[in-house]
Amino acid sequence: MPDPNDIIASVLVQNGKVHQGEGGYEKGELHRLVTMDGAMRLSEGLMALLQQALVRVRGMEKEIAGAGKR
């Protein structure tokens, strides 16, 4: 059984597809980025996706800041 601190979320899969309706997604209320065991670690693939998303967000922030200076 996984430690509740390690569960980010859960999804309901029915007939090989993620259920889109009510009860299909539940966030992990007890998830913590840092626990007594240390900081959360991501796999290389997830870390790469996170870094790509952060670069996109930073680009949007710069666009918004630049638009406010006009």
* pLDDT value at 56 more than 90: yes
Q: What is the pLDDT of residues 34-50, one digit of tens each?
A: 888 888 888 899 999 99
The total number of structural domains in the chain stands at: 2
67 and 57 in a single domain? The answer is yes
Q: What is the pLDDT of residue 5?
A: 79
Do 50 and 65 reside in the same domain of the chain? yes
Q: Is 9 helix (H, G, I), strand (E, B) or coil?
A: strand
Please tell me whether residues 24 and 49 are part of one structural domain.
no
Residue ranges making up the domain that contains 49: 41-70
Query: CB within 8 A of 13, min separation 6: which ones?
Result: 19
Question: Do residues 32 and 7 lie in contact, with contact meaning Cβ atoms separated by under 8 Å?
Answer: no
Same domain? 28 vs 48: no
